[in-house]
Structure 1
Amino acid sequence: MQTSELILLAAAGLVLLAIAGVAATRRAGAPLLLIFLALGMLAGEEGPGGFEFHDHDTAYLLGSLALALILFDGGLGTKLRRLKGVLRPAVSLATLGVIITAGITAVGAKYLFDLNWIEAFLLGAIVSSTDAAAVLMLIAGRDLKARPRVATTLEAESGFNDPMAVILVVTAVTWISQGGAPEPFGAGLSIIWALAAGGLIGWFGGRAIGWLERKVGLPIGLYPIFAAASAVFLFAFAQVIGASGFLAAYLAGVALASSPRRAADATERFSDGLAWLSQIGLFLMLGLLITPSHAAEVALPALGVALILILVARPLAVLICLAPERFRLNERAFIAWMGLRGAVPIFLGAYPVIAGVENANLYFSAAFAVVIASLVIQGWTAGPVARLFGVAPPLPRAGRWTNAGMVAAVVAGFSTVSFAVSWAVTREAPSERLITTASVAELRSALEPLRASSSAVRLESFPADWADLAPEERRETFARVAAGLITAQNARILDDRAALLAMRARIEAGEPLLLPQQARRDTLARRYGVRYEDLDMLIERVDIIPPSLGAAQAALATGWGGNESALARNALFGRFPSGQERFSSLLASAGDYVDLINTHRDFAGLRAERARLRAEGEAITGLALAAHIAPYASSGEAYAAQVASVISSAGLERFDPDAPQDAHES
């Protein structure tokens, strides 16, 4: 009982916070849907709320209900006379426009996310449709008073275009799942059936609702409930028979609004309140569903996709679809800018997850990141853009350059923030605090507890008096530090390897990967330069580097820590960070080294030999791999012989671990 009450308390509290957010941010012009999403993320697993919600099936069901109510309310607010005047351009944008948008966006997605063509098309289809909730909320805003013909075109497009996007997504998912293209004739019939049947069900269903309201006597408070329940029934019925429930819900609202009926004002007020609650609940739920760190990892490529969508795909689609229509150039430009994305792309992004499509996490997280970009870039600038293009009355003392400056500032600011977030999430961070030593004496004290040969060392830099050490002590201390740095990196690598082996075991057992597992696999695949589906290749690359090998190479590169590169630039392996004077720490230099060995094609032979040793249960040692390190230096085999000689003469193999055994391979 107490748990149920706590859930109700939390749910009601979130709704109240969302309403408070509306009041607090409305003057700032912030997109309200962005506020709802942010509250959901704060309540989610990575926010202060800590609530874990990964039930995509439930989210899909509740999301369908919310979208049906939002579209029905949008239809109630659409005047039939105005709709007739923009029906042709709206339908063109909602069908041909969606296909063009999906296709152009897919080209960018292919190269930005390194997908094949059908995977890229799936991502393009997911983000191809404008969002009714987002568009209707902006059009109804007090500051965005766009011309009626333009506003109605955008409203109608957002109500009509979901069916096409859904069909494209389902087609792409079917193609990926079955490993072959669906039959084109059948796909074409599905599109025609979804649009025609959905439209007929919605139109005649809405008329029937109005007729029943006139014929059946009900208490005044039941008419709005009857209308809303009927709209949901029409939506569900259309979905069950393979028609478009989204189109049915929208046209049911249009048809009901144009019919004589009882309690019209009460129905519209009730529907408006229900739509607000649906929008709040929908975006709060979607915020709970997403894992922000997963979306942040794909923020940069997703920003690229969003900019292609906003600046290339949408304008071209509008240019082609509205070519035969009587819209002014400034109106076309505004319609192109107002291709706002919202709940529907995230909602469609959940479809590959439910269908069990491989790499579903990428589509869901990328769709979420694109929606955030659209809400900020397009949503926040809707008012200034409307005034800039002259489709809305200008504000006092605000010229065209002011509006243009606001748009440029939002785009530049969001792009900068996206880059910073993506960099902060994906950059390598030490798992433990770095050791900072001001003197050799402090370094000795820091190393004293680490007596084991294989102890990890996380040193920031050599102390200032490092050169004062006697040669023998310096060699021994340097060997311990260099081998310890590699051991520290190996600890991170072994953790990643264990996760990958658990994934492979899950796949071999016939179970799909969980979304957090997919996200981690995708992150590692990008880091190690492997396609996500090649799990065996990824596992081969994610493996340890023998500490003796790294210590010997560092000794050769720095003269046992005696040159300027090691002391002033934290560079132990003859490499320097791109575009920077020095590595941030010695640990960062070791990280750069192990990543090079594990990713560069020149060391494929070393990785293959390492995999053989592991498969046969033999120890992965520096001497065993030294012959394969020849590509590291121009002298080739002579360099490899030097490395082997240093390992032997200095006894560096004492730092190498015993014969390894993977937990999932034992």
Structure 2
Amino acid sequence: MVTNTALAAEKLLTLIALVILAGMVFSKISRRVHLPDVVLFILAGVILGPYVLNIVNIDKYPLGNQLILTFGAAYILYDGGREIELKVFNKVKVSVLLLATLGVIISTGITGFFAAKIFKLDMTYALLVGAVIASTDPSVLVPLFKNMNISSKLKQTIISESAFNDAAGAIITFSILGVISGGSFSIGTSILELLKNAFGGIIVGTIVGYISTKLVSGKRVGVLGEFPAEISIVAVIGAYLIAQHFEFSGFMAVFIVGMICGNKKALNCWIPDEYYVTQTRFKEVLTVILRMMIFVLLGTQIKFNILAHYWKSALLVVLVLMFIARPISAFLSVILDRKANWTFKEIVYLMWIRETGVIPAALAGMMVSMKLPNAEIISSVTFAAIIITLTFQASTSKALAKFLDLEEDNKKQVASPSITY
């Protein structure tokens, strides 16, 4: 007799197999139709989900869904951190900080103002709409820009912003929720919470990143030198859990772990060539699988009945986000950073690039489960933003870079395996 636990395990394994299989099939299709693979992954989820074939209903797998989304986003963010060169990041750190704080606040305010007018919402709930969709998505941006031939400065600013602005978006969201539930809003408290969240994550990520890097170093302290792939998983999970335990930003922590692992030359660390190759291949395959799973599952969760009811108004709010809120918030953020020496074309590109994904979807889903007033409106705007920004903005990012003449013709320098992994 099959126990309930065994049956649940079998269902979860079936879910994983179906999602990965669908991801592979639709990845092939994406190359044929020249669309970003995440768009096709979401389409695969829609087809497998309750509105079409009803093969995958994520309500039956809440734990599996949360595990995949959390670990997937964390590992992809770690992978993005590894792409950051400290010398380049140092030149744009002010821009990244402003984009992730001031930019999120401005975007929340502008989007919220128009949402109040379009949906005829109370301003508090309208600002909640703006806050939920204010952050960008590392799950999309990290893989997309890793393989684009634009300047390191521009690429690393976009990736770093996606890591840093999740904390700001979440804190603003929960601050507004606190006001709705009868609390009071304090700018000072919110700023302190943001600083604690971000810097706590940085401290945890630095400690875990340093220890894990030393453990796989080729020197005497590198007692786990033959396990760089395995230690990366432990470091990601460990950094995330420790940060979350102390109510810091788990995603910030794993991003910092990635930055340290990707800049181990600064720590005078190295690993043998054979382990470097193994770890790199493992990381690439795992990242692809996680992206498939994240966005196929995301597709199964799109509420078309809610979207159908609010689609016109939701579309207007998303257009405001894309063509008004993002351009203004990005421009005002980077123009204050004189040290970065941004060109007009680079600023235009930053004004356009912003994809909505996993974190906003999680926040919107949480509000629906809380049965918060106007949660369906927030959900409809969030999923409209996901569909439109991934389909339209992600698919045009390469063409826009080419149009603005931002692509570089130089060959990428391959780092020595004995320096980085």
Task: Please indicate the TM-score interval, normalised by the length of the shorter structure.
Answer: 0.7 to 0.9
1:13 aligns with 2:18: yes
Matched-pair identity in %: 25
1:343 aligns with 2:368: no
* Equivalence for 2:414: none
- Tell me if the contact between 2:353 and 2:393 (Cα under 8 Å) persists in the aligned partners: yes
Query: Which of these residues, 367, 378, 384, is aligned with residue 363 of structure 1?
Result: 378
2 CA distance for matches of 1:284 and 1:154? Answer: 24
* Equivalence for 2:131: 125
1:387 aligns with 2:402: yes
* Equivalence for 1:98: 104
Structure with greater contact order relative to length (CA < 8 Å, sep ≥ 6): 2
1:31 aligns with 2:36: yes
1:308 aligns with 2:308: no
Structure 1 residue 243, shift from structure 2 partner = 0.9
Query: Which of these residues, 235, 248, 252, is aligned with residue 247 of structure 1?
Result: 252
* Equivalence for 1:317: 329
Query: Which of these residues, 143, 163, 169, is aligned with residue 165 of structure 1?
Result: 169
Change (3 A) 1:356 1:188: farther
SS, match of residue 313 in structure 1: helix
TM-score (norm 2): 0.86
2 CA distance for matches of 1:189 and 1:219? Answer: 40
Counterpart of 2:351 in structure 1: which amino acid? A
Structure 1 residue 158, shift from structure 2 partner = 1.0
Q: Deviations over 1:61-98 (max 9, x none)?
A: 54222211110111122222222222111111111111
- Tell me if the contact between 1:198 and 1:243 (Cα under 8 Å) persists in the aligned partners: yes
- Once the two structures are superposed, the pairs formed by residues 52-67 of structure 1 within 5 Å of their partners are 52-54=57-59, 58=63, 59-67=65-73
1 CA distance for matches of 2:376 and 2:59? Answer: 12
- Tell me if the contact between 1:41 and 1:292 (Cα under 8 Å) persists in the aligned partners: no
Q: Deviations over 1:224-258 (max 9, x none)?
A: 11221211111111112111111111111001111
Change (3 A) 1:244 1:270: same
5+ residue gaps, structure 1, are 395-666
- Once the two structures are superposed, the pairs formed by residues 314-463 of structure 1 within 5 Å of their partners are 314-324=326-336, 325=338, 326-392=341-407
2 CA distance for matches of 1:173 and 1:268? Answer: 42
Structure 1 residue 9, shift from structure 2 partner = 3.8
* Equivalence for 1:48: 53
2 CA distance for matches of 1:171 and 1:62? Answer: 27
2 CA distance for matches of 1:52 and 1:64? Answer: 18
* Equivalence for 1:587: none
Q: Deviations over 1:191-216 (max 9, x none)?
A: 11011111121123211210122324
1 CA distance for matches of 2:80 and 2:224? Answer: 25
SS, match of residue 242 in structure 1: coil
Change (3 A) 1:185 1:19: same
Structure 1 residue 219, shift from structure 2 partner = 7.3
- Tell me if the contact between 2:318 and 2:381 (Cα under 8 Å) persists in the aligned partners: no
Structure 1 residue 17, shift from structure 2 partner = 2.1
Structure 1 residue 101, shift from structure 2 partner = 0.8
SS, match of residue 58 in structure 2: coil
Structure 1 residue 123, shift from structure 2 partner = 0.9
1 CA distance for matches of 2:14 and 2:188? Answer: 51
Q: Deviations over 1:443-476 (max 9, x none)?
A: xxxxxxxxxxxxxxxxxxxxxxxxxxxxxxxxxx
Structure 1 residue 35, shift from structure 2 partner = 1.2
Q: Deviations over 1:115-152 (max 9, x none)?
A: 111111111011101111111122134xx422221111
Q: Deviations over 1:572-594 (max 9, x none)?
A: xxxxxxxxxxxxxxxxxxxxxxx
- Tell me if the contact between 2:356 and 2:390 (Cα under 8 Å) persists in the aligned partners: yes
1:292 aligns with 2:304: yes
Q: Which moved more, 1:268-277 or 1:378-387?
A: 268-277
Change (3 A) 1:25 1:316: same
1 CA distance for matches of 2:45 and 2:101? Answer: 32
Change (3 A) 1:86 1:266: farther
Counterpart of 2:18 in structure 1: which amino acid? G
Residue-pair matches, total: 390
- Once the two structures are superposed, the pairs formed by residues 506-655 of structure 1 within 5 Å of their partners are none
2 CA distance for matches of 1:171 and 1:55? Answer: 31
SS, match of residue 59 in structure 2: coil
Where is the helix percentage greater, Structure 1 or Structure 2? 2
Counterpart of 2:194 in structure 1: which amino acid? I
* Equivalence for 2:155: 151
Tell me how large the CA RMSD over aligned residues is: 2.2
2 CA distance for matches of 1:239 and 1:37? Answer: 28
Counterpart of 2:290 in structure 1: which amino acid? S
Counterpart of 1:255 in structure 2: which amino acid? I
Counterpart of 2:36 in structure 1: which amino acid? P
Q: Which moved more, 1:184-193 or 1:87-96?
A: 184-193
- Tell me if the contact between 1:76 and 1:268 (Cα under 8 Å) persists in the aligned partners: no
- Tell me if the contact between 2:82 and 2:258 (Cα under 8 Å) persists in the aligned partners: yes
2 CA distance for matches of 1:285 and 1:17? Answer: 11
Structure 1 residue 308, shift from structure 2 partner = 0.7
1 CA distance for matches of 2:66 and 2:378? Answer: 15
* Equivalence for 2:415: none
Structure 1 residue 160, shift from structure 2 partner = 1.2
Counterpart of 1:130 in structure 2: which amino acid? T
- Tell me if the contact between 1:296 and 1:369 (Cα under 8 Å) persists in the aligned partners: no
Counterpart of 1:13 in structure 2: which amino acid? L
Counterpart of 1:195 in structure 2: which amino acid? A
- Tell me if the contact between 1:44 and 1:289 (Cα under 8 Å) persists in the aligned partners: yes
* Equivalence for 2:146: 140
- Tell me if the contact between 2:23 and 2:293 (Cα under 8 Å) persists in the aligned partners: no
Structure 1 residue 10, shift from structure 2 partner = 4.7
Change (3 A) 1:37 1:174: same
* Equivalence for 2:289: 277
Counterpart of 2:131 in structure 1: which amino acid? A
The structure with the larger Rg is 1
2 CA distance for matches of 1:375 and 1:115? Answer: 27
SS, match of residue 26 in structure 1: helix
- Tell me if the contact between 2:212 and 2:235 (Cα under 8 Å) persists in the aligned partners: yes
Q: Deviations over 1:576-627 (max 9, x none)?
A: xxxxxxxxxxxxxxxxxxxxxxxxxxxxxxxxxxxxxxxxxxxxxxxxxxxx
1 CA distance for matches of 2:60 and 2:22? Answer: 23
1:111 aligns with 2:117: yes
SS, match of residue 182 in structure 1: coil
- Tell me if the contact between 2:78 and 2:236 (Cα under 8 Å) persists in the aligned partners: yes
Structure 1 residue 357, shift from structure 2 partner = 2.2
- Tell me if the contact between 1:73 and 1:272 (Cα under 8 Å) persists in the aligned partners: no
Change (3 A) 1:357 1:74: same
Q: Deviations over 1:489-533 (max 9, x none)?
A: xxxxxxxxxxxxxxxxxxxxxxxxxxxxxxxxxxxxxxxxxxxxx
* Equivalence for 2:412: none
* Equivalence for 1:207: 210
TM-score (norm 1): 0.56
Structure 1 residue 354, shift from structure 2 partner = 4.3
Counterpart of 1:85 in structure 2: which amino acid? K
